Amino acid sequence: MNYKKTENFKFVQNKKCEYFPCHKGVKKEDFNCLFCFCPLYMLGDKCGGNYIINSGIKDCTNCTIPHSKGGYDYIMTKMEEVVKKASDF
Ligand code: SF4
């Protein structure tokens, strides 16, 4: 088989979403909706993102990692940790 090399699986937008773009700091045309809910949230302080603790709750409002260029690749580098932590439950 002759596959064309693409990486379209890394990016999707839902411009009809009522919240699009839901975070500031990423150009609209680059805004990636693929990880609408960040899979790294469960890693707590090990996610590597720009979160704050607000009233005892992790607040990701100012983090653009899941929605930025390169965010897919970063998240995939951390998925082994996510799977390990999930298997510990
Ligand atoms: S959105 Fe950012 S701060 Fe929140 S869990 Fe994901 S990487 Fe961490």
Residue 3 counted as domain residue: no
Q: Is residue 1 part of a domain?
A: no
- Euclidean distance between CA atoms 24 and 78, whole angstroms: 23
Whose CA is closest to atom 2 on ligand 1? 49
Question: What pLDDT score was predicted for residue 89?
Answer: 78
Quick: pLDDT tens for 18-44: 999 999 999 999 999 999 999 999 999
Our count of domains for the chain comes to: 1
Does residue 9 form part of some domain? no
Asked if residue 75 has its Cβ within 6 Å of ligand 1, the reply is no
Cβ neighbours for 21, distance < 8 A, ≥ 6 positions apart? 28, 31, 67
For ligand 1, atom 7, which residue shows the shortest CA distance?
A: 49
- Binned at pLDDT 50, 70 and 90, residue 2 comes out as low
48 is a domain residue = yes
47-61 confidence digits (pLDDT tens)? 999 999 999 999 999
Predicted confidence (pLDDT) at residue 85 exceeds the cutoff of 80:
yes
Report yes or no on 84 lying in a domain. yes
**Residue range(s) defining the domain that contains residue 65:** 15-88
**pLDDT for residue 1 is more than 90:** no
Query: Is 32 a domain residue?
Result: yes
Q: 46 C-alpha vs ligand 1 centroid, how far in Å?
A: 9
Q: Tell me if 10 is assigned to some domain.
A: no
Query: Which residues touch 74 (CB under 8 Å, ≥6 apart)?
Result: 48, 65
User: Is position 2 within any domain?
Assistant: no
Q: Tell me how far CA of residue 28 lies from CA of 14, 22, 86, 87, in angstroms.
A: 11, 10, 33, 36
